[in-house]
Amino acid sequence: MAIETPAEAEILPILSHWINGSPVEVHIDQTAPVYNPATGRVFGHVPRGGQAEVDAAVAAAKAAFPAWRDMPLIVRSNIFFNFRQLMFENREELARLITRDHGKTYPDALAEVLRGIETIDFACGLPVHLSGMMTPNVSTKVDTFTLRQGLGVVAAITPFNFPVMVPCWIYPIALACGNTVVFKPSSHTPGATQLQAELWKRAGGPDGTLNVVYGGKEAVKSIVEHKDIRAIQFVGSTSVGRYVYEEGTKRGKRVGAYTSAKNAMLVLPDADMDLVADAAVAAGFGSAGERCMAQTLFIGVGDTAERLKPKMLERIAKLRIGDGMTPGVDMGPIYSEDHRSRVIDWIDTGVAEGAELLVDGRTFVSDENPEGFFLGVSLFDHVTPDMKIYQEEIFGPVFGIAYAETFDQGLKMINDHKYANGTAVFTTDGGAARRFKLEVEVPMIGVNVPIPVPAGFMSFSGAKESALGDLAMRGEDGIRFFTQQKMVTERWPEPGKQGPLSLVFPGNS
Ligand code: NAD
């Protein structure tokens, strides 16, 4: 890895926290380096915020809340229309920042930005999403209605792998509901965060409504323990998510934690194997396998695995691995050097466990960028449920082929897994697909679709070890999560006609 000289370090850009609508600059001593994984070089520094920065962000958000909550909904909605437009106009810059920080290819980053904007589209309709239900005459001259209001100050804690899309699944919904937000992104991929905060301000987002604090463990602890934060949505690994969920709910906060995954595709013998091979390679190795909806396990019924292998090998041989900004590259580097080592350890584990390594990505070196954090793709055959590489999330370009004798056995293998995020069935049999949809214990399901990420106006969920909390992110559930519902019972008695005093429980007649 290239280490910059002190002179270089001084001129490298330092990101700023964003509190109350302005950047909060920090000294280089309070920062951590950020690497471009394609070159292995440091290109900037990200602040390491903690208690003081979280306190300042919460104070700004708390002060901004009453006016934001009371803003006429059409005026609030117009800010979202402006924000949506600005995000779209800046989509290429956002994508470039994602590729620089994360390593995924530029077209993949652009697709991520557009999928994030879909949720802002949804937020533009906030006056409809926040409408309540009015029922007149529930009793004599008594009407009842529900209304939804923001909770107050809420927080978003997000992972490295989708620096725009995943935050866009949280903070626009929280803001649309009338909350004010403290947003803590991953320090590995911080570049696109600052631009989002600036665009929110340019769109007319009042100061203090969206605040950004960079940092790691200390910043997260400060958020989880802060008495003025009412709710948290977290996306990241199960271990950190469990901590945020348990410590947050213990303090009376609403917490939704959307966490790790191991997604399997069940392939029936009648499936179109060219479609399946394309799906397996795209969903297994796209973004170097660093997607929570990556499909990294193939469960083949009957002879499907034998038919898949030559088709997969043919496609793998043609993959181009390199800098994600280079046109024609299919897969970029791993996001960090540490994670690259972890993925290599997983491949070593698979070999030790007795899985057959058909393609070994460990030795890949990029000619153009020998110091980049690159790995080739790896393909294991004969992966079985007792192996760690079957049970655990690897989050790298490592794909495993497992076998089932029947549909029922394959379905059971998926339902027995501790993770339940996304899954897919590949078949031309509508009846089998129907059974799969009804019986699989995984909430996001593809039918001949390998990465079934629901559209931006729908909710995105998870179950078992892939999600903690009762509600999904975004969509209808997102509105529920970020609002308090109030139930009003109302009567306007005519003077002098309110009837005699009675201590009987009020009846509705
Ligand atoms: P991570 O858990 O390491 O980090 C997530 C967030 O927690 C980051 O903001 C990070 O700064 C913070 N954090 C990290 N370590 C911490 C600690 N010890 N204490 C407190 N905070 C800490 O996750 P990641 O590596 O950034 O992201 C990859 C993980 O996210 C994978 O497991 C992936 O499956 C998951 N993910 C899930 C979804 C989903 O919707 N279910 C979506 C994307 C990613």
User: 419: domain CATH number?
Assistant: 3.40.309.10
Beta carbon of 157 within 6 Å of any ligand 1 atom:
yes
Which tokens sit at 418?
């501790």
Give the three-class secondary structure for 391.
Answer: helix
| 121 lies in the same domain as 27 | yes
CA distances from 356 to 279, 381, 382, 389 (A): 21, 5, 6, 12
At residue 207, the pLDDT reads: 98
Distance from C-alpha of 179 to C-alpha of 177, rounded to nearest angstrom: 6
Ligand 1 centre to CA of 433 (Å) is 32
Check residue 507 and give its pLDDT. 83
Q: How far apart are CA 34 and CA 313, in angstroms?
A: 35
Task: Report yes or no on 453 lying in a domain.
Answer: no
Residue 157: per-residue pLDDT: 98
Going by C-alpha positions, the residue among 219, 260, 255, 261 that lies closest to residue 236 is 260
Q: Are residues 100 and 168 in the same domain?
A: yes
Task: Say whether both 242 and 378 belong to one domain.
Answer: no
184 ligand 1 Cβ < 6 A:
yes
Output the CA 158–ligand 1 centroid distance in Å. 6
Q: What distance lies between CA 392 and its chain's CA centroid?
A: 19
Both 238 and 279 in one domain: the answer is no
Helices 165-176 and 106-124 sit at what angle, rounded to 10 degrees? 10
Buried b (16+ CB within 10 A) or exposed e, 315-349: bbeeeebbbbbeeebbbbbbbbbebbeebbebbee
For ligand 1, atom 35, name the residue with the nearest CA. 236
Specify whether the CB–CB gap between 456 and 118 falls below 8 A. yes
Distance 161 CA to ligand 1 centre (A): 9
Q: Is 299 in the pocket of ligand 1 (CB under 6 A)?
A: no
Which atom of ligand 1 is nearest to 467's Cα?
41
Question: Is 506 a domain residue?
Answer: no
Spatial distance between the Cα atoms of 182 and 65, rounded to a whole number of angstroms: 12
My answer on whether 154 and 275 are in the same domain is no
Q: Which backbone phi and psi does 78 adopt, to 5 degrees?
A: -60, -35
| Residue 67: domain span | 6-259+466-487
Residue identified by tokens 């006016």 is 67
Same domain, 104 and 244: yes
User: How far is the CA of 395 from the CAs of 358, 375, 398, in angstroms?
Assistant: 19, 12, 8
Task: Give kind and range of the element (H or E) at residue 157.
Answer: strand 153-157
Counting every residue written for the chain, the total comes to 509
Based on the structure, what is the number of domains in the chain?
Answer: 2
Within this chain, do residues 213 and 88 fall inside the same structural domain, yes or no?
yes
* CA of 104 relative to ligand 1 center, distance in Å: 17
Q: Are residues 232 and 357 in the same domain?
A: no
In one letter, which amino acid is 113? Answer: V
292 assigned to active site:
yes
Among the listed residues 108, 125, 117, 123, the one whose alpha carbon sits nearest the alpha carbon of residue 86: 117
d(CA 472, CA 259): 12
Phi, psi for residue 240 in degrees, rounded to 5: -70, -40
Instruction: Compute the distance from residue 348 Cα to the ligand 1 centre, in Å.
Output: 24
Is the residue at 502 inside a domain? no
Query: Quick one: which H or E segment has residue 36?
Result: strand 31-36
> Which protein residue's CA is at the shortest distance from atom 37 of ligand 1?
259
Distances (CA, A) of 443 to 419, 422, 446, 460, 469: 11, 7, 10, 9, 14
∠ CA 188-254-444, nearest 5°, is 65
Q: What is the pLDDT, as a whole number, of residue 506? A: 85
Q: How many helices (H) and strands (E) does the chain have?
A: 17, 22
462 CA: nearest ligand 1 atom: 41
List the pLDDT tens digit at each of the 509 positions of the chain. Answer: 444 444 544 568 899 999 999 999 899 999 999 999 999 999 999 999 999 999 999 999 999 999 999 999 999 999 999 999 999 999 999 999 999 999 999 999 999 999 999 999 999 999 999 999 999 999 988 999 999 999 999 999 999 999 999 999 999 999 999 999 999 999 999 999 999 999 999 999 999 999 999 999 999 999 999 999 999 999 999 999 999 999 999 999 999 999 999 999 999 999 999 999 999 999 999 999 999 999 999 999 999 999 999 999 999 999 999 999 999 999 999 999 999 999 999 999 999 999 999 999 999 999 999 999 999 999 999 999 999 999 999 999 999 999 999 999 999 999 999 999 999 999 999 999 999 999 999 999 999 999 999 999 999 999 999 999 999 999 999 999 999 999 999 999 888 887 788 899 988 77
Residue 260 Cβ contacting ligand 1 at under 6 Å: yes
Q: What does pTM read for this prediction?
A: 0.96
Helix, strand, coil abundance in the chain, percent, nearest 5: 40, 25, 35
The residue annotated as part of the active site, out of 124, 168, 177, 292, is 292
Please give the Cα distance from 236 to 420 (Å, whole number). Answer: 15
φ, ψ of residue 142 in degrees (nearest 5): -115, 130
One domain for residues 187 and 281:
no
Is 294 found in the same domain as 198?
Answer: no
Q: DSSP assignment, residue 13?
A: -
Domain-located, residue 228: yes
Do 197 and 62 lie in one domain? The reply is yes
Measured CA to CA, the distance from residue 241 to residue 226 in angstroms comes to 17
CB of 42 within 8 A of CB of 34? yes
Structure tokens at 310: 């030559």
One domain, residues 98 and 195:
yes
Domain annotation covers residue 53:
yes
| CB of 258 closer than 6 angstroms to any ligand 1 atom | yes
